[in-house]
Chains A and B, each alone.
Chain A
Amino acid sequence: GAGVSQSPSNKVTEKGKDVELRCDPISGHTALYWYRQSLGQGLEFLIYFQGNSAPDKSGLPSDRFSAERTGGSVSTLTIQRTQQEDSAVYLCASSLTSGSPDTQYFGPGTRLTVL
């Protein structure tokens, strides 16, 4: 079956512009996560969706970041008024449930470069 897909694979934007990153999770997976990975760094948790519950937004670095998950499937991460420090790889992951153990399946990521 298809894995987690993300688009675009690369995005170059100018400082101050808004960007939207898309994630298509594995069909049937109820949990969806967004992470950010800067060069040589670990994964920084951003936001988590589980079914119809309110998302856990505790990892979002600022109010310029927001995310939606429509119909319990596709998710969009939006970054408004991008800054150079937003440059990173944004990874999406999905898992079957939110309970432990929570093995996550990752997409290939979107590399965002803010000029």
Chain B
Amino acid sequence: SQKIEQNSEALNIQEGKTATLTCNYTNYSPAYLQWYRQDPGRGPVFLLLIRENEKEKRKERLKVTFDTTLKQSLFHITASQPADSATYLCALDIRSSASKIIFGSGTRLSIRP
């Protein structure tokens, strides 16, 4: 079956450390992979997009890697801050379907001071 798996447990990180979130998928061949942030009571907000032919993408303190062989993306937040606490969703852009982005269930990240 087709699956997207993110860290099932909440992640608790000490402020200043690097947080690493994992997104694994099976049976998809995504053209793109996206990461979104979702705060309680709000809709997801787009953060970063990485294409299938890109290995790494950076934006400020964020870094995303995309390994199509391992079928895995890693999302890193360096120098983490309490304001980074949120749920982070990965989403696969399935080229075979023009209408759908498939979302993972998200990983809840807590940064403690």
Contacts and interface: CB of A to CB of B under 8 A. Distances in A.
A104 B46 contact: yes
A42 B49 CA distance: 18
Given A91-B43, A100-B31, A101-B34, A43 B100 contact: no
A115 B8 CA distance: 30
A50 B99 CA distance: 8
B43 A106 contact: yes
Interface in B92-106: 93, 95, 98-106
Contacts of A20: none
Given A100-B32, A101-B49, A56 B99 contact: yes
A45 B100 CA distance: 7
Interface of A: 4, 35, 40-43, 45, 48, 50, 56, 58-59, 91, 93, 98-109
Interface size range on B against A: 20 to 34
Contacts of A45: 100-102
Given A42-B89, A105-B46, 8 more contacts: A41-B105, A42-B105, A48-B100, A91-B43, A91-B44, A101-B93, A103-B49, A109-B42
Please provide the 6 A-B residue pairs with the shortest distance between their CB atoms, ordered closest to farther. A106-B43, A42-B105, A48-B99, A56-B99, A43-B103, A42-B103
B45 interface: yes
B42 A108 contact: yes
Nearest to A55: B99
Which of B4, B102, B105 has the most chain A CB atoms inside 10 A of its CB? Answer: B105
Contacts, number: 59
B101 A104 contact: yes
Contacts of A109: 41-43
Which of A35, A45, A103, A107 has the most chain B CB atoms inside 10 A of its CB? Answer: A103
A106 B31 contact: no
A56 B96 CA distance: 14
B102 A100 contact: no
A100 B100 CA distance: 10
